[in-house]
A and B are shown apart, each in its own frame.
Chain A
Amino acid sequence: DGGITQSPKYLFRKEGQNVTLSCEQNLNHDAMYWYRQDPGQGLRLIYYSQIVNDFQKGDIAEGYSVSREKKESFPLTVTSAQKNPTAFYLCASSPRSDTQYFGPGTRLTVL
C-alpha cells in the first residue's frame, strides 16, 4: 500500500520541550517537504530536501530542524526555540520533476 504516512496524528508539547514529527514515504520520491498551516492561512514551507543527506531552509525554518538519512524518511523536530508551534504540520513528497503529494498531517498543540 503506497503512500505517505505521518505520525502521530495529534501531538501535545509542553513549554521548553523538543518534539519530533515523523514522515515516511514508500513512493520512491526524491524530494520531500515540510509545511506548516495555521488557521485561515496557506501553507508555509519549513524545510525541503531534494536528495538524501541534503536539505534546504524554507521561508520559516527558525526553530525547526530536519534530517534526511534515508530516502524514505524526513523527520521534523520542533525545538523549544519555536515560540509559536501550535499548527497543522504537513509532509509532502514529489518525484524529481513535479507534483506534490501530501501525508495526512500532524496537529501539534502547545500546552
Chain B
Amino acid sequence: QKEVEQNSGPLSVPEGAIASLNCTYSDRGSQSFFWYRQYSGKSPELIMSIYSNGDKEDGRFTAQLNKASQYVSLLIRDSQPSDSATYLCAVKTTSGNQFYFGTGTSLTVIP
C-alpha cells in the first residue's frame, strides 16, 4: 500500500472554475501535510501546509484536512491558465523525518 495516493488525472477545468484535488494517506499518525505545485521541467514549489483538521485558506487556495478519514484536499478558486501544473501532495510521517509524496495530479485550466 502506497503511503500517499492521488488521482493522477488529468483534471481539466474551465478558467474561473473551482479545481478540486484530493489525496489520501496511510499513516494515521501523520501530523504535517503539504501541497506543492510543479510546472513541467521545474522543481516543486510549496503552496500550502496544513496541520490541523479543518480548512486553511491562502488567497485562491484552500487546503482541507480530515485526519479521521486520512484525507487532505486542495481547492483552487477562480482557476487561471497559469495554475496548469502538476500538484503534489506530501505527508510527513511520525516515524522519522521523512516526507512521502503522491505521484501528483495534472491540472489543466482551459481559457
Q: Which of A48, A101, A103, A104 contacts B98 (CB 8 A)?
A: A48
Where chain A touches its partner, the secondary structure class is strand
Main secondary structure of the interface of B (DSSP, over half): strand
Cβ-defined contact, B104 with A42, below 8 A: yes
Interface string of B26-67 (1 = CB under 8 A from A): 000000101010000011111001000000000000000000
B→A interface (CB under 8 Å): 4, 8, 32, 34, 36, 42-46, 49, 88, 90, 92, 96-99, 101-104
**Contact status B97-A42, CB under 8 Å:** no
Chain B residue nearest in CB terms to A6: B43
Chain B positions within 8 Å of A99 at CB level: 32, 34, 46, 49
Please give, as numbers and ranges, the residues of chain B lying within 8 Å of A43 by CB-CB distance. 44, 88, 101
> Which chain A residues border B43 with CB–CB below 8 Å?
90, 102-105
Contacts A33-B99, A40-B103, A105-B43 aside, 14 further interface pairs with beta carbons under 8 A come to A40-B8, A42-B4, A42-B102, A48-B97, A48-B98, A58-B98, A94-B97, A98-B32, A98-B49, A99-B32, A101-B46, A102-B45, A103-B43, A105-B42
Interface residues on A, range: 20 to 34
Query: Number of A-B pairs whose CB atoms are under 8 Å?
Result: 46
Chain A residues with a Cβ under 8 A of chain B: 31, 33, 35, 40-43, 45, 48, 50, 56, 58, 90, 94, 98-105
Docked-complex contact B103 and A100, CB < 8 angstroms: no
| Residues A42 and B88 in contact, CB atoms below 8 Å apart | yes
